[in-house]
């Protein structure tokens, strides 16, 4: 009887142990399933680095607004300020005292047309006018007058920034001209630039703004050696 009881107790104990083992074996499966689900939910995010990073919210509108503001402030159509006009006109007069116009290294009185042609090539046109010969370089907005000895006596510029100037603006900075003259429908306003040169502003009646400027050396407009 004792042996039978021990046998029955052993069977019950073994059955209990087997039951506990079955319960514990199910728990890791549940944890693994949860981990797999978590990894699956992260896949779309992990794929994003392969493409271009998405911009931060609000970045594009801010940049577009900044570009528009910059264009509005620095656009080529903006009118020059009084300070800019004053600086421009004073520089014109200072250059004229050297026989020059802006952007041209060749000066009246001291320059030779031979040097111009060596650097710039043949002019678009070359014709006699007044007391000399005039070479036109249309692409540079420059006309150069020279005498029969090849000495430059007139340098003209029709650069676009000069063609915005009015007589009122000129007189506000440089004062009243030293002399005036008329050539057809063009009014010419003349400022003495030292003893050697004249700075001329040529303003057509039809526009009221400068057509071109001229830095002129009158004494060189004829050549005493030409005969």
Residue by residue, pLDDT tens for the chain (227 residues) are 444 545 554 555 555 554 544 444 444 444 444 444 333 333 333 333 333 333 333 333 333 333 333 333 333 457 789 999 999 999 999 999 999 999 999 999 999 999 999 999 999 999 998 779 999 999 999 999 999 999 999 999 999 999 999 999 999 999 999 999 999 999 999 999 999 999 999 999 999 999 999 999 999 987 644 44
Q: What gap in Å lies between CA 184 and CA 205, rounded to an integer?
A: 10
Burial 161-198 (b: 16+ CB within 10 A, else e): ebbebeeebbeebbeebeeeeeeeeebbbbbebeebbb
- Give me the pLDDT at residue 13, please: 52
Whole-prediction pTM value? 0.65
- Give me the pLDDT at residue 130, please: 79
């Amino acid at each position: 009887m004792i042996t039978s009881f021990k046998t029955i107790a052993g069977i019950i104990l073994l059955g209990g142990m087997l039951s506990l083992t079955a319960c514990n074996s199910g728990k890791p499966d549940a944890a693994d399933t949860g981990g797999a689900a978590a990894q699956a939910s992260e896949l779309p995010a992990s794929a994003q680095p392969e493409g271009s990073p998405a911009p931060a919210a609000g970045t594009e509108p801010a940049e577009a607004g900044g570009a528009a503001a910059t264009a509005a402030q620095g656009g080529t159509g903006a009118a020059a300020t009084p300070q800019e006009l004053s600086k421009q006109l004073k520089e014109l007069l200072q250059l004229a005292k050297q026989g020059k116009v802006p952007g041209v290294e060749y000066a009246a009185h001291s320059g030779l047309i031979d040097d111009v042609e060596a650097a710039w090539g043949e002019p678009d046109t070359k014709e006699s006018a007044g007391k000399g010969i005039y070479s036109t370089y249309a692409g540079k907005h420059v006309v150069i007058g020279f005498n029969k000895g090849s000495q430059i006596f007139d340098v003209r510029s029709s650069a676009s920034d000069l063609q915005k100037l009015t007589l009122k603006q000129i007189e506000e900075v440089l004062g009243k001209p030293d002399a005036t003259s008329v050539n057809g429908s063009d009014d010419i306003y003349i400022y003495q630039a030292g003893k050697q040169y004249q700075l001329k502003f040529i303003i057509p009646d039809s526009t009221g703004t400068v057509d071109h400027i001229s830095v002129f050396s009158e004494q060189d407009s004829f050549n005493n050696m030409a005969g």
